Amino acid sequence: MADRIMDGGDILIEVLNNHGVDHMFGSPGSEWPPLWEALSRRKAEGEQAPTYLNCRHEGLAIGAALGYHRGTGKLVAVPLHTNSGALNCATNLRGAMHDFSPLVVLAGESIGYGEMDIDPGPQWLHSLSSIGGPSRLMEDLVKWQSTVRTSHTLADTFHRACQIAQAEPQGPVLVNPPMEIMLEQIGVDQLPVPPGTAAAPQPDVRVLEQVAHLLIEARNPVIFTEAAGKDPASVAYLTELAELLALPVIEPSGADATNISTEHPLHLGYDAEPWRSQADLILLLACPVPWHPPSKRPAPGCKVVDIGVDPDRHLKPYSGFPCDIQVHGQVKPNLQALLEIVRDLKPRNSSSASRIQERESELHQMHRAQRQAALDDALAAQSKFPIEPNYAAHAFNEAVPDDAVVVTELITHRGVFERHRERSQPGLYLRSFGGLGQGLPNALGMKVAHPDRLVVCAIGDGSFFYNPVISCYGMCQEYDMPILTVVFNNHGYASQQGGVERAYPGGFASRDDVRWATSIKPRPEYAKLLEAFGGSGQAVDQPADIIPAIRKGIEAVQSGQPAIVDIALAR
């Protein structure tokens, strides 16, 4: 005999509770009355339920969920409004897929169209429904999708969705629970729960021993990484491994996290050349594109070791990168196991000791030279007008404290920004990617994860236009979650114009005064946008005003106001 009578809303909340989901970011529609009732009842009766945050745009909901996961490591649920809601966040869902972020996305539909006891209204047949429903529309943007066929399989489907989202490689999943099924009251004996004990895949020590010996014996080894530090615990392992063997750490595709402190003497910047052509061993750690194009092969005889959850690059239409040893799995446990092996081998007491020590001295000198060159370039531009991007990035670094959370959505100025922004604390840096429009949502998700920290979004003016700006600042206001936005404003989409000029040097498009689909002029008064949401803004045109303006923006955020600083750049 069933212990309880439950509808789909209560079943969903109970399953999410069992999987440790403590936040939901939603932008749902008229198919979710069971969810509202379940959340309201549990709140009234003091029962456990995830905290629900209302998002006024589907892209905001997915982007904030991604940011929250990156800030906490937790599974997140996202209820959306059927087909239109799912389609409206497709870019952000694609970003979550490529970021390997575990999200349980819920998008329902009607299956009765008023011909059953429950009438959802004529809008479902008229305009909301699509053939195959949201599962069919979104199947290429998630790692798994399912449409619930009966109320008796609701619980297991929600449970499996949570499990599959967190299985390696992690990623978003989608469940379509039709409204009529969610509204049914059914007897429930027992809801599924995660296994009490689940053994994680163990690193292959035999293979990692081989890797350790190759690293010790190599004359010119190098580490390429992009996202090894997504799990903050990996940073300490990577740092110690690099120190033991004097391994230069390069972030050739840009940093998607703090992988090693940029102040560490073995952080050697972002240029894959000449490391690729001179190395005799390349260790890839969560680095899907270590150099470009892939046909630029390493030197003859160079060994390539690839460690990560997706060394096969199954989400990429082309790989082309050579690989001699492939290690599947999370970076952290494999790095930890590799480090333990290297420690036991005592490389600083081996026949390779003098070579390691000599390499260490050379790398430290290179690091100092790189940092000094970056500083010299920035200071040489500090009085130039219009403002040079390298000085703007330097000033940002001077004004924004090291313990702030920084989210970037920069395209043209990403490389300049990374060269000047110091990153030393794990878990406080996120680069938005996978399509424009995700920086502000990701920043708000990080703010939910780190409510007591300053959160700053560094964003290009082109990217800013693709963000759900009004919805994002509305969320800042509604939940008292102020963030600082710093716009690197070059008045257009420079990457588009640059592509034309590279393809047709000296052509008509490069000579024409018209900039096709690239201009953002006249300059909008971005600073006024925040006034509608109780915030403040500043426009900056002189280099000497950048640091004071950013500090004033930080003061506004600390007083509870969202703020924006718009920096006009030369290019």
CATH of the domain at 308: 3.40.50.1220
Residues 401, 472, single domain; the answer is: yes
Residue type, 186: I
Phi, psi of 71 (to 5 degrees): -85, -20
Question: Over its length of 571 residues, how does the chain's per-residue pLDDT go in tens digits?
Answer: 457 899 999 999 999 999 999 999 999 888 999 999 999 999 999 999 999 999 999 999 999 999 999 999 999 999 999 999 999 999 999 999 999 999 999 999 989 888 888 888 888 888 888 898 999 999 999 999 999 999 999 999 999 999 999 999 999 999 999 999 999 999 998 899 998 777 778 999 999 999 999 999 999 999 999 999 999 999 999 999 999 999 999 999 999 999 999 999 999 999 999 999 999 999 999 999 999 999 999 999 999 999 999 999 988 899 999 999 999 999 999 999 999 999 999 999 999 999 999 999 999 999 999 999 999 999 999 999 999 999 999 999 999 999 999 999 999 999 999 999 999 999 999 999 888 999 999 999 999 999 999 999 999 999 999 999 999 999 999 999 999 999 999 998 877 777 777 888 888 877 766 666 678 989 999 999 999 999 999 999 999 999 999 999 999 999 999 999 999 999 7
Contact 467, 459 (CB under 8 A): yes
**Distance separating alpha carbons of residues 127 and 119, to the nearest angstrom:** 15
**Distance separating alpha carbons of residues 196 and 241, to the nearest angstrom:** 34
In a domain, 435, yes or no: yes
Among 188, 218, 249, where does a domain finish? 188
Contact 258, 229 (CB under 8 A): yes
Residues 527, 444, single domain; the answer is: yes
Residues 405, 473, single domain; the answer is: yes
Residues 343, 489, single domain; the answer is: no
Contact 449, 426 (CB under 8 A): no
Q: Can you give the CATH number for the domain in which 541 is found? A: 3.40.50.970
Instruction: For tokens 């390779």, name the residue.
Output: 352
Phi, psi of 536 (to 5 degrees): -140, 160
Residues 263, 299, single domain; the answer is: yes
Residues 176, 34, single domain; the answer is: yes
Residues 421, 324, single domain; the answer is: no
In a domain, 377, yes or no: no
Residues 406, 344, single domain; the answer is: no
Residues 244, 390, single domain; the answer is: no
Q: At what angle do helices 469-478 and 439-449 cross, to 10 degrees?
A: 20
In a domain, 48, yes or no: yes
The pLDDT, as a whole number, for residue 513 is 64
Contact 550, 558 (CB under 8 A): no
Task: Name the 3-class secondary structure at 458.
Answer: strand
In a domain, 252, yes or no: yes
549-553: long-range contacts (C-beta < 8 A, 24 or more apart)? Answer: 550/395, 550/396, 550/399, 550/400, 550/484, 550/486, 551/399, 553/484, 553/486
Among 369, 399, 425, where does a domain finish? 369
Residues 172, 222, single domain; the answer is: no
Which letter, b or e, does each residue of 229-259 get, where b requires 16 or more Cβ atoms within 10 Å of its Cβ? bbbeebbbbbbebbebbbbbbbbbbbbbbbb
Residues 540, 447, single domain; the answer is: yes
Burial of 178 (0-12, 13-18, 19+ CB in 10 A): buried
Question: What's the total number of domains in the chain?
Answer: 3
Residues 343, 308, single domain; the answer is: yes
Task: Name the 3-class secondary structure at 552.
Answer: helix
State the CB neighbour count (10 A cutoff) for residue 369.
10
Among 342, 369, 396, where does a domain finish? 369
486's enclosing H/E stretch is strand 484-489
CA max distance for the chain: 81
Contact 131, 105 (CB under 8 A): no
Domain membership of residue 113 as a residue range = 4-188
In a domain, 194, yes or no: no
* Bond prior to 274 in cis (omega within 30° of 0): yes
In a domain, 198, yes or no: no
Please, which residues have CB within 8 angstroms of residue 555's CB and are 6 or more apart in sequence? none
In a domain, 376, yes or no: no
Contact 495, 411 (CB under 8 A): yes
Predicted model pTM: 0.96
The pLDDT, as a whole number, for residue 398 is 98
503-512: long-range contacts (C-beta < 8 A, 24 or more apart)? Answer: none
Tell me which DSSP letter residue 258 carries.
Answer: -
In a domain, 279, yes or no: yes
**Distance separating alpha carbons of residues 399 and 421, to the nearest angstrom:** 11
**Distance separating alpha carbons of residues 498 and 513, to the nearest angstrom:** 14
